[in-house]
Amino acid sequence: MAAWALRRAGHPVLILEKGRNLLPGLGTHKRLGSLFGNDEIKSGRAFENQDEVLEPRTSRTQDEAAQGVERSFVGDVNDLPTVVGGGTIHWDAKTPRFWRQDFKGLSTHGPVPEANVADWPLTYDDLAPFYDEVEKRLGVQGDVTKMPKTTLAQAPRKHQFPVPPNPPMYAGKLLAEGAAKLGYTAYPFPMAVNSVAGHNGHARCNSCGFCSGFGCPINARGGAAVSFLHDALLAGAKLRPRSFVYRIDTTRDGKRARGVSYLDANGKRHTARADMVIVAGSAIETARLLLMSRTAAHPHGLANRSGQLGRNLMFHVFTLGIGFFADDLHAWRGPNTTFTIDDFVGPYKGPEARAAGLPYLKGGICETGGTLLLVQEAQLYGAAPNSWGAAHKDLMRASPFRRHLAGMSMVGEDMPQKANRVDLDPKIRDVYGFPVPRITRSAHKFELAASAYYGPKLAAICQAAPGALSGQTVPVGTVAESGGPGADLAAGQAATAHVMGTARMGNDARKSVVDRFGRAHEIDNLFLADGSVFVSSGGFNPTNTIMALSLRMARHIAGKRHPAPTHGPRRNGDRD
């Protein structure tokens, strides 16, 4: 995103990407291809995802940390794709906008006990034009005429969406009817999925169903690579895949970034010098890189005088609703879900909130009408001890969790806590020999109380849908948190790919890492362009907001830097 905007503004740009490229033709005038297929085996074999064998992460709870436990898990902790195109290579492409209230949590709703609530240093209106531009470029589908008034009041739109919605998925239609009976509104989910052949030069989505968690075989889904990077490369930006940046190099006085040091595909060390460094490694890896880049001038990690670097790590806490139906719902046909419900975003200030000792509760949007694919279904039934054999096959034949299921998942807002953090594991190293990120995290009672409050409402919608045999809720975040039976299984479902916080933005350099444009308070040519800068998590898929913030940052840089510098980034050859 930033590379595209800056290259278009005339700046020389070098992109160092840790992963490889799986889109043949990217950045060339040949046809843009894809090595992805409708293949459940490949998606489970670290094809595009970070390989947890080579680059593990470690984790522990807040209680374990207090007891001096260094780590209780080594492996995949909320891993994202490590590939050219990043997380958007297999994202579900849902693009809700954050609401006005999300940017002003402290001043609108007040503090939450034991949470680090703050206002963002910008408003919805500051970001709105960048949302517009990002959505146009991504080719976002939706229908503004069907959006609830509350949503449009909180996230106003001046224009209809660039393309109309996909055909609505049958299971979603049933749940939408159930929601309507209970007074809720399900509407077409805004998403970066192309519904018109040839729009922005892309194929039309044909609802193959292998969407969330799968690379698109036909590039009908917008994203960082196909919507921005491709054109940035055509315009002259340089890309070096399999380049692992292990340090941001700074001047002796610590006030300027000089460039970066990185390993190439063969493990050789290089440096690249530049007059500006923009980091977009996602919230966990970005914090890790800044921590690894510490110097005498920045003894606790780059730009960490505030002590906030690595802290306030936020995921989203999902709560599931599950409806079982006698009929075949074929809810795998389509882009995961085509409906969303905003009625549980909150805040809710009723007795359930007060009983939990909280001023209010907030949930999030509800992805409505999805199910499992075949191997996912088989593995779910296979998770119980001794669940193999004829009984497993009977379940596969009856298929309650695939063919007869319509699911909902609420993207629950996650409170920022200082104790939820990324730091460097003191012992475990990755394949490159560098300390891996260690995630310390426990849910705040805010998320668990919201899940307990909103979960039964999801179950009620499922139950109210025409033809439903039953409606249930599964508070996967709460089950995972319990550490009890089923925690491991729930952890997989609860482990979201929405990773935010760790380098929050703010006007006060004593309380934040970067300013309102993503520039490090202490290093004036270092910028962060990912979810690390989020102050709150909202109850919304974050990528649209990440992209809008990045575009705003890039336009700010471009506006301040006319004319463009004449020298480009240089590769200085081997070092060490």
Partner 1 sequence: MSGELSRRSFLRAGGALGLLALLPPARVEAFLAAPPKAGQAGRFLNAHELDTLRAVVARLVPGPPEDPDQGALDAGAAEAIDLLLGAFAVDPPMIHAGGPYSGRHGGGRDDFTHFVTLDRHAELGWRIRLEGSRGRKEREFAGPVRGLQQIYREGLAHLDERAPVTGFAALPAPAQDAILSDQSDPAVQELVGVAFSNTLEAMYGPPEYGANKGLAGWTYTAWDGDRQPAGYTNAQVSDPSPGAAPRMSAAALRGLDRFLPALHGAPAEHGRAWVARKGLTGR
Closer CB to partner 1, 354 or 429, in the complex: 429
Does the protein bind partner 1 through residue 231 (CB under 8 A)?
no
Using CB under 8 A as the binding rule, the residues of this chain from 460 to 499 that contact partner 1 are: 469-470, 474, 476, 479, 485-486, 488-498
Using CB under 8 A as the binding rule, the residues of this chain from 97 to 156 that contact partner 1 are: none
Closest approach of Cβ 272 to partner 1, in Å? 20
Does the protein bind partner 1 through residue 396 (CB under 8 A)?
yes
Distance CA 270, CA 572 (A): 7
Closest approach of Cβ 453 to partner 1, in Å? 19
Does the protein bind partner 1 through residue 500 (CB under 8 A)?
no
Distance CA 168, CA 187 (A): 10
**Phi and psi, residue 386, nearest 5°:** 55, 35
Closest approach of Cβ 1 to partner 1, in Å? 18
SS3 for 285? helix
Closer CB to partner 1, 167 or 307, in the complex: 167
Closest approach of Cβ 247 to partner 1, in Å? 18
Count of CA atoms in the C-beta half-sphere (13 A) of 142: 28
Using CB under 8 A as the binding rule, the residues of this chain from 209 to 228 that contact partner 1 are: 209-210, 212-213, 215, 217-218
Closest approach of Cβ 284 to partner 1, in Å? 15
Closest approach of Cβ 243 to partner 1, in Å? 11
Residues in a beta bridge with 266: none
Does the protein bind partner 1 through residue 41 (CB under 8 A)?
yes
Closer CB to partner 1, 24 or 357, in the complex: 24
Distance of alpha carbon 454 from its chain centroid, rounded? Answer: 22
Residues in a beta bridge with 497: none
* Number of residues this chain uses to bind partner 1 (CB under 8 A): 122
Does the protein bind partner 1 through residue 206 (CB under 8 A)?
yes
Does the protein bind partner 1 through residue 56 (CB under 8 A)?
yes
**CB neighbourhood size of 258 (10 A):** 17
- Kindly tell me which residue out of 62, 154, 207, 295 binds partner 1, with binding defined by CB under 8 A: 207
Q: What angle do CA 225, 54, 411 make, to 5 degrees?
A: 55
Distance CA 157, CA 500 (A): 25
Q: How far does the chain reach from its first CA to its final CA, in angstroms? A: 33
Using CB under 8 A as the binding rule, the residues of this chain from 20 to 39 that contact partner 1 are: 20, 22, 33-39
The one segment of 139-147, 426-434, 441-449, 568-576 that binds partner 1 by CB under 8 A: 426-434
Distance CA 352, CA 363 (A): 13
Closest CA to 456 of 352, 370, 314, 360: 352
The strand ranges marked E within 241-353 are: 244-250, 257-263, 269-273, 277-279, 317-325, 339-341
**Phi and psi, residue 374, nearest 5°:** -65, -50
- Kindly tell me which residue out of 98, 318, 344, 517 binds partner 1, with binding defined by CB under 8 A: 318
**CB neighbourhood size of 159 (10 A):** 9
SS3 for 576? coil
| Contact flags string 356-375 toward partner 1, x per CB under 8 A | -----------x--xxx-xx
Does the protein bind partner 1 through residue 508 (CB under 8 A)?
no
Using CB under 8 A as the binding rule, the residues of this chain from 254 to 313 that contact partner 1 are: 265-267
Closest approach of Cβ 213 to partner 1, in Å? 5
